């Protein structure tokens, strides 16, 4: 579990437009534990800091991992207030406080080493003999999206590794262990100059919806509902768009 213990002090200019967001100073305090898809790491770190600044006395603690693993942890009793998944199917079996709502969407790209030394231009290029490719396992959202995209393209490939979350697949490229990986557009944007992004048209048929919900057994239900509203606010939506997410 990844935790941030420092409470950001001082006021931050934050737009909380619409979506029923709790107003700063509304009495939301204490720890809010958020289980979130690994692909949300950078954006939610920033959104969490904004939440703490808007609600003095609150602390956001994150657990970032693959959505299917997080869903299993929640159903097995791990204490959590909010679940943000990279796909709706991972909400099945999770007892939420109200209906989960889609707050963002994400699209796949091919990540290759900076400069694209192998000249990858399409999904079909990934089937070249000797080219090493990393995919996410099909049990996690980035893996199921990759399967849909490959099926649409009519491409069959054998990856050298199947990762449990998208950060693992991208790390293989950054470490030079593979020549390419199918990851989210937001991941290559965050990796900046470490990798080159190759877009492919079939990814438009494999866009993942990201739902979020406060959990029925949330230890801090008021903070859970406030955090969900905060993620859906105009300010947080701007953070997500800047990172490369699409709006619902």
Binding-site residues, in ranges, read 39, 67, 166, 184
The tokens for 10 are 């001082």
Note whether 180 and 161 are within 8 A (CB).
no
Strand order in the sheet with 108-113: 161-163, 133-136, 180-184, 108-113, 195-198
Binding residues for molybdate are 39, 67, 166, 184
What is the C-alpha end-to-end distance of the chain, expressed in Å?
28
Contacts by 45-48 with C-beta closer than 8 Å and gap 24+?
Answer: 45/4, 46/239, 47/230, 47/231, 47/236, 47/239, 47/240, 48/4
Question: At residue 96, what are phi and psi to the nearest 5 degrees?
Answer: -100, 160
d(C-alpha 127, C-alpha 130), whole Å: 8
Backbone angles phi, psi at 126, to 5 degrees: -70, -10
């Amino acid at each position: 579990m990844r935790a941030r213990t420092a409470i950001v002090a001082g006021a931050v200019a934050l737009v909380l437009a619409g979506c029923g967001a709790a107003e700063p100073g509304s009495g939301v305090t204490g720890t809010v534990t958020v289980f979130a898809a690994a692909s949300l790491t950078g954006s939610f770190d920033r959104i969490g800091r904004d939440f703490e600044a808007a609600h003095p006395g609150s602390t956001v603690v994150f657990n970032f991992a693959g959505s299917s693993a997080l869903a299993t942890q929640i159903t097995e009793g791990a204490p959590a207030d909010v679940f943000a998944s990279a796909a709706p199917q991972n909400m099945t079996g999770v007892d939420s406080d109200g209906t989960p709502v889609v707050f963002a969407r994400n699209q796949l790209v091919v990540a290759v080493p900076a400069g694209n030394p192998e000249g990858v231009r399409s999904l079909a290029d990934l089937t070249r003999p000797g080219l090493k490719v990393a995919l996410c396992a099909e049990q996690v959202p980035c893996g199921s999206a990759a399967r849909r995209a490959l099926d649409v393209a009519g491409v069959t490939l054998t990856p050298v590794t199947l990762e449990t979350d998208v950060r693992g697949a991208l790390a293989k490229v950054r470490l030079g262990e593979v020549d390419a990986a199918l990851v989210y557009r937001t991941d290559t944007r965050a990796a900046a100059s470490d990798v080159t992004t190759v877009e492919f048209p079939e990814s438009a048929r494999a866009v993942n919806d990201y739902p979020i919900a406060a959990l029925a057994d949330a230890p801090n239900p008021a903070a859970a509902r406030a955090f969900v509203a905060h993620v859906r606010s105009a300010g947080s939506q701007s953070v997500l768009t800047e990172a490369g997410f699409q709006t619902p």
